A and B are shown apart, each in its own frame.
Chain A
Amino acid sequence: MTDAAIVAEGLGKRFGPVVALDGVDLELPAGGVLGVLGPNGAGKTTVVRILATLVKPDRGRARVAGFDVAEHPAAVRRLIGLSGQYAAVDPVLTGEENLVMIGRLSGLTRRCARRRAGELAGRLELAGAAGRQVRTYSGGMRRRLDVAASLLAAPPVVFLDEPTTGLDPRGRLALWQILGELTSQGTSLLLTTQYIEEAERLAGMITIIDHGKVIAAGTPDQLRARAGGDRLELQSPPGQDPRLLAGALAALGTAEPAIDVAAGRVVLPVTGGAGILPGVAGRLADAGLRVTALALRRPTLEEAFLAWTGQPASGPPARRAQPAHPARSTR
């Protein structure tokens, strides 16, 4: 037994010609929360499937709750809870029937399964709907029921694959709160998400994967620090094209500026801290441009993500540009 809830080394998996995972390392200390962040198709779900013993890796090894997933899948299954990407609940059964069924199949006695089903339905705000068939539930309710099912047997390691996808903001907040309580009781949690905010809010450690590879891993603070220096944010006054600001300052940046024409805002990746501000002021004065606000700040995780993957965290899967500002050496 190791102390870690999850240790994965060099996980590789291909499906026919598609390389889903290309050497992924992960580590989650017992009682911690690991957020696996990445765009659509990055390989997040494949990671979860391998760790939950559903798919065998082509190469690499993984231990979950102290057991090798390939050698002792049955032991691993006794110690995990899984909530997959789609709500896997039977629409014909009631909420309570679904929970009791999963509880019984997790090894709980009938009485214990009923008690836990009642508890979790209450905590996930499903108590009033527990006696109704799931086909009458909203998407958010199904999702919460699915999460409840994964927690039923109080497993020490829980996998949640995009748990808040499809939830409204209130449902998302409620689920975050429950997951927070859960981890404060010692459950180790691995969650995948496309939402930076979610990873930042819940996860002590974040691993960013893209194209089946880990491109960055660390605490949210470490990731921001590694995203490449600072961000210079400028607000253009009404009537002045923010692209002029971007043009005047481009030479100071370490990468292409992000320009929001409608909002009149320019964000430029820079290095050198406050030392660059005199240069900024000089160039703006030379060009005769005005700004209504100017700030030098750390990058947001969103910007860090963009820098590494070349696309926004929750953006469309279509255009997969090469990273504009690769930082692949930072592991």
Chain B
Amino acid sequence: MSTAATAALPGRTVPVPTSVAVITGRNLRRLVRVPTLLVFATVQPVLFVLLFTYAFGGAIHVPGVARYIDHLLPGIVVLAIGFGASQTGVAIAEDLTTGMIDRFRSLPITAAAVLAGRVAADALRNLFVTGLMIGVATAVGFQFHAGPAAALAAVALAVAAGLAFSWLNLLLGLAVRDPESAGLAGLFPVIILFFTSSALVPVATMPGWLQAFAKANPITVITGALRALCLGGPTSRPALEAVAWLAGLLAVTIPAAIARYRHATST
């Protein structure tokens, strides 16, 4: 083997944390430089809080809740994170079509690093989005009612829900391969599940046939757990249900996305 060229290289094994950190850095740079992504992370969450509060807030009265924003915020945080995650599917499909994935796969890094780096950047974005929405909501009257520990747990649960959304969208993006289709494939389930969940209105106000679906809907379950953490009341059962849903989703989507990635090439 020739040597003048290889001499420049000491060890060329890339530790997993390094590769994940490098990919995370790439995605964070994209996040602040691409206007669409920036809007998904800043303008949209603020609009969600203001539009839903002022457009729906006057008409909807939820029994037992003084201010609609207290009831509303958990659901629209999930919505904002779910919408934002569709950009993750778009991005991975773009990387596939531009040959970026071919390049990454030819490098001495583990398959999971490229995907994990994407999810890690998403998690940081979601932390920011959640904080931003809490801030704006607080300005229009939102309050935590269950103490700071529960509030922190709510933020953690929202970010954890984001992990599941991100992995799901990575899987979708790698499966449909085309960036535009990936965007739609990521948005549709969120839109359908959001409006058939307890996010906006109590499930009890829905027709009977929809109630069964709405109760099992993961967005209802996650929103329910977030509400318990924000508003107080019985918390362990909804939190466990939400964690079970998220763990189940991750257990399916992570291995499936990694398996897809391992065989993904640009054509």
Instruction: Report which A residues bind B (CB closer than 8 A).
Output: 1, 30-31, 45, 49, 52-55, 65-66, 74, 77-82, 84-90, 92-93, 97, 101-102, 104-108, 112, 116, 133, 149, 153-156, 185-188
Smallest CB-CB separation from A82: which chain B residue? B106
- How many chain B residues touch A (Cβ–Cβ < 8 Å)? 36
Within 8 A of A (CB), among B99-113: 99-100, 102-109
CA separation between A188 and B99, bound complex, in Å?
23
Q: Enumerate chain B residues within 8 angstroms of A1, measured Cβ to Cβ.
A: 1
B110 to chain A, nearest CB (A): 9
A10 to chain B, nearest CB (A): 21
Q: Is the CB of A105 within 8 A of B107?
A: yes
B235 contacts the other chain (CB 8 A): no
Given contacts A77-B107, A93-B26, whether A188 and B102 have CB atoms under 8 Å apart is no
8 chain-A/chain-B pairs, Cβ below 8 angstroms: A84-B99, A90-B30, A104-B22, A108-B9, A153-B9, A155-B6, A186-B2, A187-B2
B205 contacts the other chain (CB 8 A): no
Q: Enumerate chain B residues within 8 angstroms of A90, measured Cβ to Cβ.
A: 26, 30, 100
CA separation between A319 and B266, bound complex, in Å?
26
Q: Is the CB of A66 within 8 A of B1?
A: yes
Given contacts A84-B266, A92-B34, whether A106 and B22 have CB atoms under 8 Å apart is no
Q: Is the CB of B3 within 8 A of A107?
A: no
User: Which 8 pairs across A and B sit closest by C-beta, in order of nearness?
Assistant: A107-B12, A186-B2, A88-B99, A82-B106, A88-B103, A154-B8, A78-B108, A77-B108
A121 to chain B, nearest CB (A): 16
B217 contacts the other chain (CB 8 A): no
Within 8 A of A (CB), among B190-241: none
CA separation between A102 and B22, bound complex, in Å?
9
Q: Is the CB of B4 within 8 A of A185?
A: yes
Q: Enumerate chain B residues within 8 angstroms of A54, measured Cβ to Cβ.
A: 102, 105-106, 265
Q: Is the CB of A86 within 8 A of B12?
A: no
Q: Is the CB of A78 within 8 A of B13?
A: yes
A154 to chain B, nearest CB (A): 4
CA separation between A116 and B10, bound complex, in Å?
14
B65 contacts the other chain (CB 8 A): no
A67 to chain B, nearest CB (A): 11
- 11 further interface pairs, Cβ-Cβ under 8 Å (given A52-B102, A116-B8): A78-B13, A90-B26, A92-B29, A101-B25, A104-B19, A105-B19, A105-B109, A106-B107, A107-B9, A185-B5, A187-B5
Q: Is the CB of B105 within 8 A of A186?
A: no
Given contacts A1-B1, A185-B4, A185-B5, whether A74 and B108 have CB atoms under 8 Å apart is yes
Instruction: Report which B residues bind A (CB closer than 8 A).
Output: 1-6, 8-9, 11-14, 18-19, 22-23, 25-26, 29-30, 33-34, 98-100, 102-109, 265-267
Q: Is the CB of B2 within 8 A of A77?
A: no
CA separation between A154 and B1, bound complex, in Å?
13
Q: Is the CB of B29 within 8 A of A65?
A: no
Q: Enumerate chain B residues within 8 angstroms of A74, measured Cβ to Cβ.
A: 108
CA separation between A84 and B105, bound complex, in Å?
12
B7 to chain A, nearest CB (A): 8
Q: Is the CB of B5 within 8 A of A85?
A: no
CA separation between A45 and B266, bound complex, in Å?
11
Smallest CB-CB separation from B14: which chain A residue? A107
A168 to chain B, nearest CB (A): 21
A164 to chain B, nearest CB (A): 16
Q: Is the CB of B6 within 8 A of A156?
A: yes
B29 to chain A, nearest CB (A): 6
Q: Enumerate chain A residues within 8 angstroms of B6, measured Cβ to Cβ.
A: 79, 154-156
Smallest CB-CB separation from A1: which chain B residue? B1
Q: Enumerate chain A residues within 8 angstroms of B8, measured Cβ to Cβ.
A: 112, 116, 153-154
CA separation between A223 and B11, bound complex, in Å?
41
Partner of A84, one of B9, B18, B103: B103
Smallest CB-CB separation from A115: which chain B residue? B8
B118 to chain A, nearest CB (A): 13
- In this complex, the member of A66, A78, A105, A153 whose beta carbon has the largest number of chain B beta carbons within 10 angstroms is A105
CA separation between A222 and B1, bound complex, in Å?
27
CA separation between A133 and B106, bound complex, in Å?
24
A210 to chain B, nearest CB (A): 19
Q: Enumerate chain A residues within 8 angstroms of B105, measured Cβ to Cβ.
A: 53-54
B100 to chain A, nearest CB (A): 5
A243 to chain B, nearest CB (A): 43
